[in-house]
Amino acid sequence: MKIMLLGATGLTGGKVLDGLLAREEVSLVVTPVRRPLSLSHPKLEQHQIDFDHLDDHASLFEVDIIICCLGTTISKAGSAEVFRKVDYGYAMKAAGLGQAKGVKGFILMSAIAASPSSRVFYNRVKGELEEGIKALGFPYLSIYQPSLLLGDRNEHRTAEALGMKAMPLINRALIGPLERFRAIEADTVARAMVNEVRDLRPENPEKPLVRIHDYADIVVMAQKNPGA
């Protein structure tokens, strides 16, 4: 199985990469990156590219499955416009190139409360991305909607760092319908994605299958026996 991983230098993407490289059924992991990975592996094929010119690298998208963990913050991007270009523009362009090459499955990292009608800019962009990729009609589309991601990041995000300290207490209070808003370890999300790749079998290309995963579902998927 040949996989493309977008966002391999990020918190979750890096953990997904490690998991994919350890899977026997994964023969190659293609990683378009803006900065090189400090990792070498026989099954890893990395390409340092300019994401503003993804069309120039269309041949890279001849894969079986695309996993998209691309994402930034408005503060890191510097403006809402640049944030949208990364989180929506790059991801949509990549999905379109994959669809044109006959990619069978697309796994998308989105966010809790993503909605194209949201008054929150971040959630609105994520929701527009979800709807845009759904419209492409991949045989299999899996959308992950985690809340705050926990884990050690390369860059410092003040708001998220404060949130992480409070989350153990807050998580215990989020029960019932509110459970979906619980913070979750990036490693848990990554393990769920890797397990889903193992099990991904688009059965009927004429009837696209769309799956949405939030906190409880992601936790269950991550606990699947990796050797099954």
More confident residue, 119 or 176: 119
Residue-averaged pLDDT of the chain: 88
* Long-range contacts, stretch 174-183, CB < 8 angstroms, 24+ apart: 179/215, 179/216, 180/112, 180/145, 180/147, 180/214, 180/215, 180/216, 181/112, 181/147, 181/215, 182/147, 182/215, 183/147, 183/148, 183/149, 183/150
Confidence of residue 156 (pLDDT cuts 50, 70, 90): low
Task: Copy the structure tokens of residue 193.
Answer: 């994605």
Helices (H) and strands (E) in the chain, counts: 8, 9
Confidence of residue 57 (pLDDT cuts 50, 70, 90): very high
Whether residue 126 lies in the annotated active site: yes
pLDDT tens, residue by residue, 180-222: 778 899 999 999 999 999 877 655 556 788 999 999 999 999 9
How far apart CA 104 and CA 61 sit, in angstroms, is: 11
pLDDT tens, residue by residue, 22-37: 999 999 999 999 999 9
**Cβ neighbours of residue 187 under 8 Å, at least 6 residues apart?**
15, 151
Catalytic entry in 15, 126, 140, 144: 126
Domain residue extents for the chain = 2-149+186-222
Architecture of the domain delimited by 2-149+186-222 = 3-Layer(aba) Sandwich (3.40)
Catalytic entry in 90, 122, 144, 215: 122
Q: Which H, E and C letters describe 162-207, residue by residue?
A: HHHHHHHHHHHHCCHHHHHHCCEEHHHHHHHHHHHHHHCCCCCCCC
Helix or strand holding residue 33 (H, E): strand 28-33
Whether residue 140 lies in the annotated active site: no
Q: Is the pLDDT of residue 226 over 60?
A: no
DSSP H helices, the chain, are: 11-21, 74-77, 80-84, 91-100, 121-135, 158-173, 186-199, 215-222
